[in-house]
Amino acid sequence: MIYPKNLEKGYKIGVTATSSGNDSEVDLIRLDSGISQLTEMGYPIIETNNVRKNYKGRSSDGKTRAKELMELFTNPEVRVIMAAGGGDYLVEMLSNIDFDLLKNHPKWLQGFSDTTGINFTITTNLDIASIYANNFSSFGMKPWHRSLHDNIRILEGNDIIQHSFDKFQDGYRSRETGYEGFYLDKDVEWKNVMPQSSKKGDELTINGRTIGGCLDVLLSLVGTRFDKTCDFVERYAQDGILWYLESYDLSSEDLTRGLWQLKEAGWFNHATGFVFGRPAMYESAYEISYEEAVLSVLGELDLPIILDADIGHKSPQVTMINGAITTITSKDGKGIITFERR
């Protein structure tokens, strides 16, 4: 596994809009706030031309987005590249990316949600570690939540111990100033649901080489020429694969079919366990819970499964390193995550 060079003072963070861009006044205020705060920390920002553009959910066409991303990869002053935000159309840029160029200039690439399309692909295709964590817009809040400080420390090369949070934001709220932090209104409660022999209060530990992301996006990659997942899991079979997954708006029916598809495609060969983030939106036509949907497909594997972890759309979220050896421990509704970069 290739781990890009750490973020160091004086080196720059590149920001590009791999999917949608920023065009509202509030979003631009938040963008400028993130630029200002990271610059003050010693990390100047390079912003590509598409960051402040948005038309019908796209910052620019797929070819332009690919070009601007590759320019950041080849820029020797840039150590980290962050997606400006999420969206729906990142896959359009994949066909225009020169993956040999990316392999020859490894950089930390960070983002979540739609950014799954590129950071998951880089790790599984090129064996370059990537980051599943905050898109750049989160760094515009004042003051920062501790998850953002942890995020930067990990990019700086610190293999810190991440602990689950006390509370999370359940749902979306419109911003008025651009500086808003998370509205923490619900208690965090990690839930151990497998193996079935485990009892309430038991400590559950999963270890393996980590890969994952947003299921809504992963399902679009299956079977395409960018899907090298089975090669990846076979390559690292001796480590075992620890999967983390989360969904944006998959229903119980979508979730069931999607997990079945990934399992039958061989993605879950050599899995050591699964950690699911809190779903952003979820509903069922048959009164099937998220847990029931997951277990209907993965239960027969009899592997450890944790639900409602601090990963993904319901903030705050921990920082996940795609490709790292990871140990996740869950007990009494709380969790601990550690990484080894090998």
Query: What are the helix (H) ranges across the chain?
Result: 25-40, 62-74, 91-94, 99-104, 116-126, 146-155, 215-221, 229-235, 252-264, 290-298
What CATH number does the domain containing 288 carry? 3.50.30.60
Instruction: Please tell me whether residues 121 and 141 are part of one structural domain.
Output: yes
For residues 1-5, average pLDDT: 98
In this predicted model, what pLDDT tens digit does every residue of 326-341 receive, in sequence order? 999 999 999 999 999 9
What pLDDT, on the 0 to 100 scale, is given for residue 115?
98
DSSP letter string over 82-150? EES---S-THHHHTT--HHHHHHS--EEEE-GGGHHHHHHHHHHH-B-EEES--GGGGGSSSPPHHHHH
Residue 116 lies in a domain: yes
- Peptide bond between residue 4 and the one before it cis (omega within 30 degrees of 0): no
With respect to residue 95, please indicate whether it lies within any of the assigned structural domains.
yes
CB of 259 closer than 8 Å to CB of 294: yes
Q: Domain limits at 225?
A: 163-340
What pLDDT, on the 0 to 100 scale, is given for residue 198? 67
Average pLDDT over residues 301-315: 97
> Is 67 among the domain residues?
yes
Looking at the chain, the whole-number percentage of residues with pLDDT higher than 90 is 96
| pLDDT value for 202 | 85
Mean pLDDT of the chain: 96
User: Do 157 and 175 share a domain, yes or no?
Assistant: no
For the segment 155-178, the average pLDDT, to the nearest whole number, is 95
Residues 89 and 145 occupy one common structural domain: yes
Question: Which CATH number does the domain housing residue 77 bear?
Answer: 3.40.50.10740
Based on the domain organization, do 216 and 315 belong to the same domain?
A: yes
Domain boundary among 161, 182, 216: 161
Q: Are residues 202 and 122 part of one domain?
A: no
The residues, any chain, with a CB within 8 Å of residue 287's CB and separated by 6 or more, are none
State the pLDDT at residue 142.
98
7 part of a folded domain: no
* CB-CB contact of 335 with 329 (8 Å): yes
- ∠ CA(167), CA(171), CA(173), 5° rounding? 105
pLDDT at 101 over 90: yes
Confidence of residue 201 (pLDDT cuts 50, 70, 90): confident
| Same structural domain, 309 and 241 | yes
Q: How many domains does the chain have?
A: 2
Please indicate, yes or no, whether residues 266 and 306 belong to a single structural domain of this protein.
yes
Please say which residue of 161, 176, 195 terminates a domain: 161
Region 12-20: mean pLDDT is 97
- How many C-beta atoms lie closer than 10 Å to residue 155's C-beta? 23
Q: Compute the half-sphere exposure of residue 194: CA atoms within 13 Å on the CB side of its CA.
A: 22
**CA geometry: angle 336, 341, 342, nearest 5 deg:** 125
Joined together, the tokens standing for residue 199 give 């009892």
Residue at 5 is within a domain = no
- Residue where a domain stops, chosen among 121, 143, 161: 161
In this structure, are 149 and 254 located in the same domain? no
pLDDT at 199 over 70: no
Q: What mean pLDDT is predicted for residues 161-186? A: 96
Q: Is residue 196 over pLDDT 80? A: no
Instruction: pLDDT band for 194, please (50, 70, 90 cuts).
Output: confident
Whole-angstrom Cα distance, residue 46 to residue 15? Answer: 6
Model pLDDT, residue 120:
98
**pLDDT at residue 197 tops 70:** no
Average pLDDT of the segment spanning 12-39: 97
Q: What type of residue sits at position 341?
A: R
